Amino acid sequence: MEKAELLFESYNMVIEESCNKIFMNEKEEDILKIDEDRLYEIVDEDLEKWGKAPMQELDGLSPDEYFNSISEIGQLLELFKLGAKMCDMRLPNSLIDRIASYNEVAEDELLKLATDRCVQSNEEEIFSSLMAICVLGEWRTERAVGPLIKLLGNLEIETNMNDEIVLEKVIDALALIGGAAVPAIVDRLNSIEDFGILDEYLLTCLTKMEAKALDKDVYDTVYRCLKNSFLRMSNKAFGAICLGDFGDGRAIPALKGYVQKNMGSIDYETYCDIQSAVIRLGGNMDDIKIEFA
């Protein structure tokens, strides 16, 4: 693996030099104004050049050629695990593309890695599991939904910091998968009485999905779930924030209606979060007069 280690070190160096170049060319007062998308675009351009440039450490092969020369999925997965531990950003595109060429075999292997609780309990190995979850999300792997949802049920997020990181990665992956993940998430949220931390994360997952990419029926299902969850959950502030994030103005009557029905008991923080959601959805609270001590 010495070649691979040198390869990933070189990959990190390109990223570091690319970022340094960007920041050194900016005036001090403009550094915080650098657009993140533009930053990644420039880094990607430099990484593309790196992928095509021959490396002495690879016997004259370029990184792209090196990854494409590997024909064993097992060896590619070992590189995947090593890269997950070493790489400062995501893995090299040519490595991911080479693994993806194995289609369902690749999906099966990454699913095993993504849901392996032994790996996730190991401080050094957990990075490979987190990376597998991310890649499955980027691939929009629909058959990963069931195993990932099942994984969520096994996490000990209130006592295990690593599990909280796993949870966040799974939520992001499910959001990328999109519509195929909606039924499983909605079924859980519609069936519970008390909303815990996991359920709040699942609500957030629904709001992260690209609304324009959802079929109309799926979109309406998500909206109804978010609205009904707001009405049923005790943490109204969180539910209101989710409705505001989702961006469907049909939620305005439900939000304002809750305030009007609870004028004497609503706390200031909850009121402010509901008001913010209403405004973000295109409405206002001008017709509601309420005083707080």
- What contacts 113, CB < 8 A, 6 or more positions away? 77, 81, 119, 128, 129, 132
Q: Which two tokens stand for residue 154?
A: 């096994």
pTM, two decimals, is 0.91
Quick: pLDDT tens for 35-94.
777 778 888 999 999 999 999 999 999 999 999 999 999 999 999 999 999 999 899 999
What is the C-alpha to C-alpha distance for residues 206 and 178, in angstroms, rounded to an integer? Answer: 8
Model confidence at 29, pLDDT cuts 50, 70, 90, reads low
Whole-number average pLDDT of the chain: 93
What separation in angstroms does the CA of 265 have from each of 140, 258, 261, 269, 293?
44, 11, 9, 12, 12
Quick: pLDDT tens for 242-255.
999 999 999 999 99
Asked whether the predicted pLDDT for residue 290 surpasses 90, the reply is no
